[in-house]
A = this chain, B = another copy of it.
């Protein structure tokens, strides 16, 4: 009926706006709790922590903790906040230490912690963020055993993913299975941690469906990040375009293109060899983009992102409340709908 077709989109728009407003409220609650979680002294230890937390960030993972907690039945209070803070502190710790290893000089438009405060402070301040994460986690008096198990597993897997990523950079035999395994560890783990801690903070219902949602969302998120490295608008992306090419990163695009090495022209093989050997220059970036486009790699990446997004959303069937389910779908659309 005409009235329905007019009313429904308007109703959806209102629901969408209300979901977005709820997520924004969560983000503000998280920011407030994050600030409150950092002690004053010693300032040499905690100033770098305040510095990186103040640099912003979309708080994607702790918002997922909040949404997962609501989906698992958390009441209107903020019982999930301490778990969400633990997740963001752990994630931010990995940024500080990864930036040292990657010799990255800026993040979120500001000098990285080790550039601003020195390597020693960056190491120790990163370390203490794990302790602050655990302190925040220990504010939950229920389900402590499960929270600790999930945290230790997620943390271990993130470290393993980072180690594999570094190992892969000097290897020439990375298969799609290797890549998949690596990003499950490096990227999906912390999404899974965010979702499962939220579920346990709310009492421990529907942990596995939420873990599946987070896992596939994480996989899609990483592949989108790989894609945007070559296709994004510089201002919107906030990183150097082609950075992965210059660093010889074994991304989804690289591994997929390497699978077609045997049918490439000798010029394109030389280009791939330069990337593999970390010898690519800025002039190679548009060449790589054109090659990947011509090989169908960019399109394959888009299809895979779409596939993982659908797998993520289909894991949400076990979420009892349709509004909670809609909020998680909106979260994945927000995260994965960026310019693909």
Q: Is the CB of B148 within 8 A of A137?
A: yes
Q: Is the CB of B159 within 8 A of A44?
A: no
**Which 3 interchain pairs have the tightest Cβ spacing?**
A134-B152, A45-B163, A131-B156
Q: What is A's interface to B at a CB cutoff of 8 Å?
A: 42, 44-45, 97, 100-101, 119-120, 123-124, 126-128, 130-132, 134-135, 137-138, 141, 144-145, 147-149, 151-153, 155-156, 159-160, 162-164, 166-167
Known: A134-B148, A137-B148, A152-B135. A163 touches B97 (CB 8 A): no
What is the predominant secondary structure among interface residues of chain A facing chain B? helix
Looking across the interface, which residue of chain B has its beta carbon closest to that of A102? Answer: B120
Looking across the interface, which residue of chain B has its beta carbon closest to that of A137? Answer: B148
Contact of A159 among B128, B137, B147, B160 (CB under 8 A): B128
What is the oligomeric copy number?
A: 2
Give the residues in chain B near A126, CB-CB below 8 Å.
127
Contact of A152 among B44, B137, B164 (CB under 8 A): B137
Known: A45-B159, A163-B45, A164-B42. A120 touches B100 (CB 8 A): yes
A134 to B138, CA, bound (A): 13
A151 to B153, CA, bound (A): 16
Q: Is the CB of A141 within 8 A of B145?
A: yes
| 27 residue pairs A–B, Cβ–Cβ below 8 Å | A42-B160, A42-B167, A44-B163, A100-B119, A100-B120, A100-B123, A101-B123, A127-B127, A127-B159, A128-B159, A128-B160, A130-B155, A131-B155, A131-B156, A131-B159, A132-B156, A134-B151, A134-B155, A135-B152, A138-B145, A138-B148, A138-B149, A138-B152, A144-B145, A144-B148, A147-B148, A148-B148
16 additional contacts (CB under 8 A) given A44-B166, A130-B130, A138-B145 = A45-B163, A97-B127, A100-B119, A101-B123, A101-B124, A120-B166, A123-B123, A127-B127, A127-B159, A130-B155, A131-B155, A131-B156, A134-B148, A135-B152, A138-B152, A144-B145
For residue A138, give the distance in angstroms from its CB to the closest CB of chain B.
5
A141 to B137, CA, bound (A): 17
For residue A312, give the distance in angstroms from its CB to the closest CB of chain B.
26
Give the residues in chain B near A127, CB-CB below 8 Å.
97, 126-127, 130, 159
Looking across the interface, which residue of chain B has its beta carbon closest to that of A101? Answer: B120
Give the residues in chain B near A155, CB-CB below 8 Å.
130-131, 134
